[in-house]
Structure 1
Amino acid sequence: MTKGTNGMRSHSEKADAKRARLLLKVLAGVVFVIIVAVAIVVGVLSLHEKSAVDKAVVDEKLGQMEKFIDEQKWTEAKSIGNELLDMNIAQGTKVSVYWEMGIIESYQKNFGTAIDYANKVLNISSADGHYLLGLIYTDMKKYDQAINEFTIVGQTSPMYKNTADSWIAELKKLSGSGK
């Protein structure tokens, strides 16, 4: 460093020192941005990888749950359902699990709990929730309430229209309220 006659650095040396500090700050900023970008990419890739693994696990558990339901092994089916609900699963999967849990409870005549599950379905998927409520009220022999639920389903969901109409016709026969 060259000092002038008064012991001070020259203007060009000061400017060079400022440029060097500025360059270091810019480089540090660039390095920081690169590190953050790498962390984001790694995080996204690990989430993608995790969701792919979770989907396979979820699908396997749903299959096991359905098998236990078919075998009328209610405790085992509910255990798997609760495991699934403890996982971070998609809303559509929650509908499936709540649906199956509601069916299990209805089969076991635990109608209050079955209705609770149906209401959870209802909060996610209106048509599915009303349809499940219709099934539960049918199991409870509350045919007028079941007809109301199936009527809502038929009016709001083309997917369920024909099935809902069939249920309504059958329930009217059972309740003696029409053909």
Structure 2
Amino acid sequence: MTGFALHLLRHGAPETPGLLMGRTDGAPTDEGIAACVTQARHLGIERLIASDLRRSRAAGEAIGALLGMPLAIDPRWRELDFGDWDGKAASALDPDARGRFWADPDANPPPGGERWSALVLRISAAIADLAPVPTLIVAHGGAMRAALHALCGFDQRQLWAFDLPYAALLSLRVWPGERPSAQVTGLAR
């Protein structure tokens, strides 16, 4: 039995860095797009997918143009919706509320925002729908962490230990028959 390569690429740097950009659709920099293209150049993929948000989609379009490959758009790969915090600098938020969120984003979602478990459910469903071919997904840091939870079972503390700068690339092997379920398990409480 052979698995398939799943590459997760975080979008390049946005024009306005340092903000909690969940549903906020900020434009990427040209340098950020170029960094993503450099990461994807030699992956040997057969399928290319991106979040529908511009900062991921633009990198996916550039990669698709380079590789002569169509880009599929899947909004399930969006970042966590930060609700009332969306588009704001973390330093502008109440530090206690921000600390509670980072300690347990499922029990303490941003006001009006998405729970961590909802993000994990939609990412798990998106992974379960993947064809078993080498695939690159241009997404967001939170979506990548949710995929690591779904595929590898990492708990919350382990997930925050991953440094995922702009244009970070994670390469995983997904084994048929061991696909993630649409259930959330193992979240730290």
TM-score by length of 2: 0.25
Q: TM-score if structure 1 supplies the norm length?
A: 0.26
Structure in which a larger fraction of residues adopt helix: 1
Higher-RCO chain (CA-CA 8 Å, sequence separation at least 6): 2
Where is the strand percentage greater, Structure 1 or Structure 2? 2
Greater C-alpha radius of gyration: 1
